Amino acid sequence: MRRMNISRHDLVHRPRRLRSSDAIRSLVRETRLGVDDLIYPLFVVEGEGVREEISSLPGNYHLSIDRLLDEVEEVASLGIKGVILFGIPDQSQKDEKGSAAWAEDGIVQKACHSIKEEYPQLLVITDVCLCQYTIHGHCGVLEEGCLINDPTLDRLANVALTHAQAGADMVAPSDMMDGRVRAIRNRLDKACFKEVGIISYSAKYASGFYGPFREAAHSAPQEGDRSSYQMDPANSNEALREMELDVEEGADVIMIKPALSYLDIIRRAKDNFNLPIAAYNVSGEFSMVKAAAQKGWIDERRVALESLTSMKRAGADIIITYWAKDVVKWIKG
């Protein structure tokens, strides 16, 4: 075999040429993170005048509706196009069924009304789940410690319907029951909410990265875990199957969650479906960077932008992130 005998002086290909200045780097950059990619999560609580920082999610707050509107004002003025709402009912409103989740005057329903009244242009997405509303903290109907699929569907469809009635533009079921996209689509269509979209948490893994969220939403299961409905982190083909079913059932956007440890799943989703792909940069992904930054071990801005850019590079069209407001400030300034 003839040996290629190229000395280092003969190099023809020098990829470093395209990295030699800010100008050229910016011209050849393949992925750009922009304000149009972002959705900001908001946590709504009962009461008035409440704006309490969530200790596990620094810079994010529990907000009563009056203060929520101030926050939404800021979000909208930054140019962020959408928010996703999580309701946190009072402990006294929780019951075995999670009925506060579909109450007409439930916390999310009230929040939707108020936001849409003042900010009709802002896209309001609601998280559809029961875990914040049930005493047991599971995402559906629990019988003898088992989460029962089909009776849960009716409840989830009720939740989605009341959110739509309150003005939600899109609903995002995060429970991982089988058949919930179809159940929700049918219920919305029957009630003439054909224009309300579904962002489905299609591939939602049973992840340790939700830890800080559960503190924020008071939604940890009292007993057991969510492994019988959320996905095994070891699986990838199963995620495609879940997405396929959700697309068939009528999802408008498919979501992968968490994002950072599942970039391969985001890429497979992008390559396999002609639907917008959303990625949820979840609480643990955010909080671990915050904590390390507080210790001076990591540069928050740099690592946050790197993480979010990676999600986009992997194929995400939409990113839900607790950094949304910061990102806009960072990329502007």
Please, which residues bridge with residue 141 across strands? Answer: 148
| Distance of closest approach, residue 193 Cβ to ligand PBG, in angstroms | 22
| Distance of closest approach, residue 218 Cβ to ligand PBG, in angstroms | 11
CA 5, distance to chain mean position in Å, is 53
CA 20, distance to chain mean position in Å, is 37
| Distance of closest approach, residue 32 Cβ to ligand PBG, in angstroms | 24
| Comparison of 191 and 206: residue with beta carbon closer to ligand PBG | 206
Q: Which of 257, 290, 312, 325 is catalytic?
A: 257
Q: Which of 110, 204, 290, 312 is catalytic?
A: 204
Rounded Cα distance, 89 and 146, in Å:
24
**Beta carbons within 10 angstroms of residue 12's beta carbon:** 5
| Distance of closest approach, residue 92 Cβ to ligand PBG, in angstroms | 21
Q: Specify whether 116 is catalytic.
A: no
Q: What are phi and psi of 229, to 5 degrees?
A: -130, -35
| Comparison of 115 and 231: residue with beta carbon closer to ligand PBG | 231
- The burial class, CB within 10 Å (0-12 / 13-18 / 19+), for 31 is exposed
Rounded to 5°, angle at Cα 304 from 300 and 310:
150
Rounded Cα distance, 1 and 204, in Å:
51
Q: What are phi and psi of 332, to 5 degrees?
A: -75, -45
Which residue sits closest to ligand PBG, CB atoms considered?
Answer: 213
| Comparison of 178 and 272: residue with beta carbon closer to ligand PBG | 178
Burial 224-252 (b: 16+ CB within 10 A, else e): eebeebbbebeeeeebbebbebbbebbbb
| Distance of closest approach, residue 284 Cβ to ligand PBG, in angstroms | 6
| Comparison of 10 and 136: residue with beta carbon closer to ligand PBG | 136
| Comparison of 164 and 255: residue with beta carbon closer to ligand PBG | 255
Q: Specify whether 204 is catalytic.
A: yes
Rounded Cα distance, 332 and 80, in Å:
13
Binding residues vs ligand PBG (CB under 6 A):
127, 129, 131, 139, 174, 210, 213-214, 219, 282-283
Q: Annotated active-site positions, please? A: 204, 257
